[in-house]
Structure 1
Amino acid sequence: MSSLLLNASQSASNGVTLPRRAGILRQATRAISTYTTRRATRRALARLDSHLLRDVGLEPQHARQEVAKPFWLS
């Protein structure tokens, strides 16, 4: 019975250990969260008019450049 249990330090059938899988999952979750935040922030930035952009210290041209970036670029 104990041989059927997979110890965290043992490799799974594909050779990736469970702690490593957890780390990969954690990185993927963090990346998705970052991408979602960037997308939402850039959409909000796109809705601001030039007066509000200057009020927060941004030039409209700089804001347009930021909004035009794909979500995976920082």
Structure 2
Amino acid sequence: MELLSRTHPTARLQPTRRGGLSTLVSLYRQRRALSKLDDASLNDIGVSRTEAQAEAKRAPWDVPSNWKA
């Protein structure tokens, strides 16, 4: 998850009551896109296929630890 919070500007936002749902939907979409990257793209961002699959399988509400109060 650390990868997403470093590379995607909206991933740094703390989920709030108003924006929480849209933030979680965005996180879901990022994880889905990560799972579809080819090996060359994953290599470019320094992520192994195993790490990408593990991240993609996380639930949308399983957010980065820095989002938790």
Q: TM-score, normalised by structure 2?
A: 0.62
Report the counterpart of residue 47 of structure 1 in structure 2: 36
In the other structure, the counterpart of 2:60 is 71
Letter in 1 for 2:33: A
Identity of aligned residues (%): 29
Q: Specify which of 16, 20, 25 is matched with residue 36 of structure 1.
A: 25
Unmatched runs of 5 consecutive residues or more in structure 1: 1-26
Alignment size in residue pairs: 48
Equivalent in the alignment of 1:23? none
Q: Secondary structure at the match of 1:41?
A: helix
Listed one character per residue, the Cα deviations across residues 34-72 of structure 1 (whole Å, up to 9, x for unaligned) are 101101101111110122101111111111000000000
Letter in 1 for 2:21: I
Q: Over aligned residue pairs, what C-alpha RMSD do you find?
A: 1.1
Displacement of 1:28: 2.2
Q: Provide Cα deviations, 1:13-43, integer angstroms capped at 9, x if missing partner.
A: xxxxxxxxxxxxxx32221121011011011
Structure 1 segments (4+ residues) deviating >6 Å: none
